[in-house]
Amino acid sequence: MSKVSFYLRRLLRKMWFLPAVFSALAVLTILAAFYLARWAPEELPFTITQQAVQSILEILATSLLTVSVFALSTLVAALSSASASTTPRAAQLIVGDRSAQTSISLFIGAFLFSILAILGLSAGIYGSASRMLLFSVTLGVVALVVVALIRWIAQISDIGRVGHTIDRVETATAHALRTLEEHPLFDCRLLEGEPEGVPVSTDKLGYIQHFDAKRLQTLAVEHDLQIAVTARPGSYVSAARPLMMVEGELNDKLTAELIRAFVVGGQRSFDSDPRFGLVVLAEIADRALSPGVNDPGTAIDVIGTLTRLLSSWQPSTPTDPENDRVVVPPLAPQYLLEDAFRPIARDGAGIIEVVLRLLHSLEIVAELNPELRKAALATARDAAGRAQQTLKAPGDLHALHAAAHYTQSA
């Protein structure tokens, strides 16, 4: 994915984007109703009075203003609830929920359409043909608003719930893992051993959200370079932690071009960083296990989600990479398992139900995913050791020993 595509996808998820698009469509519709009426026949079978059309538009304008404010306040409340009950890192997924954005955008767009149409009618710019066309469009807008209201009623019962937030994070993480499965090295070659060359760093402090591998390949071909990317998406970089190691002649202009191929931000992104999704899921489980919440059921639900995500992930090894002058380090399996399960193993060590489910899930991952088997067994041994030191009841310890027998296998 190019840098432009990355920014475009991020723009499409902005809360203001869809309302702006629907508002622009409302303005274009009003203008179209005025200009298209020029081609309508002068004599119509029947006409609509200005008062009739204006009455419907006034009802729409009055009601949709209230509905828009209510929908936005509901979404804000859902964001606050999701941040308080799960983790603030999941809020960006709720904001980017396309279904919620579409409903709110339709309300705002229909409200703007009504206001502009009322202004046009009051100014007397619409003739009989224009009013007829405007009335037809208004009926269509009413139908869309009714459908959007029904959808919104169904959505507000889910938005902000812990289960809904977990589902949203699972979907985003599954998409990132699927992308990683198809392009494990971003269509580059595998970095074997220690990278060589001149380190290239950025003055910015932050996380790598994305890098444009094709742009790096183009620059490498043009200037006869060999590039070893040392900071995958999700890595925290600074002047002391280089983005890449470059073999070949460099100058200030070329170095700046290479650095511009990377997107550095203050927060991690779900798109190219599946580890971030696993971290967010672990945070949700971790908060549920806190003494103030004491909700082991949510932690068990998250463990099941993590098991689904990791048991089916099978990365491929590219045989003929497109970007052959760029090498990228592999994503170490132990990092995935540590991000997903170590916080739960630490804070759930004293709850036998959570420990048993955790060990069972790690056993499933080890059996179903050969790529993660070694890391899953190591994580299971760590979880069993933490529980061994925390649990006191003989019955709990007996259940722990029975469940952890498989961790001794290679």
Q: What is the pLDDT of residues 88-147, one digit of tens each?
A: 888 778 777 777 778 888 888 888 888 888 887 887 777 777 777 788 888 888 898 888
b (16+ CB within 10 A) / e for 254-286: beebbbebbbbeeebbbbbbbbbbbbbbbbbbb
Q: What is the 8-class DSSP label of residue 88?
A: G
Find, among 210, 328, 306, the residue nearest to 263 by Cα.
210
Quick one: pLDDT at residue 42?
A: 55
Average pLDDT, the chain: 85
Joined together, the tokens standing for residue 140 give 């269509």
**Better-scored residue on pLDDT, 25 or 175:** 175
Find, among 78, 46, 231, 243, the residue nearest to 168 by Cα.
78
CA-to-CA dists, residue 69 to 72, 107, 159, 385, 395, angstroms: 5, 9, 17, 53, 55
Q: Among 36-50, 327-341, 386-400, name the one with the lowest average pLDDT.
A: 36-50
Quick one: pLDDT at residue 220?
A: 93
Q: What's the rounded mean pLDDT across residues 178-183?
A: 84
**Better-scored residue on pLDDT, 92 or 301:** 301
Percent of the chain with pLDDT over 70: 91
Quick one: pLDDT at residue 357?
A: 95
Quick one: pLDDT at residue 313?
A: 83
pLDDT band at residue 279, thresholds of 50, 70 and 90? very high
